[in-house]
Amino acid sequence: MRQENDSYIRKKSGLDKIASTNVRRNYALVAKTVKKLKKPVEITVNGRADLIIMDPEIFEGLMNLIEEYQDELAVAFLKMKKTPLSLFKQVNFLKMLV
């Protein structure tokens, strides 16, 4: 999926990676490439993970999935007359993300 203009993105196991220096120098090109890839890209500082960037549409889709999962868990809770502690913790964790 790489082209000549996005050779600064390194493909390794897991997420594609880009150095923060390249983001600073080529922001417009990086933004265009990340949107085209349709997946998260890891920004590194001194070779270590610092941030993850992604297309806003992908982010919204992930947030919608989390909300749907929360709704499904809530329905499962209602069907069960008692709430197992592990499921309760999952719902609370997911609420922090939204």
Q: Does residue 83 share a domain with residue 71?
A: yes
Does residue 22 sit in the same domain as residue 43?
A: yes
Mean pLDDT estimate for the chain: 80
Q: Are residues 37 and 67 in the same domain?
A: no
On whether the pTM is more than 0.85, the answer is no
Is residue 44 within a helix (H) or strand (E), and if so which, with residue range? strand 41-45
- The CATH code of the domain that includes 29 is 3.40.1620
If asked whether residues 45 and 68 sit together in one domain, one would say: no
Q: Residue 91 above 90 pLDDT?
A: no
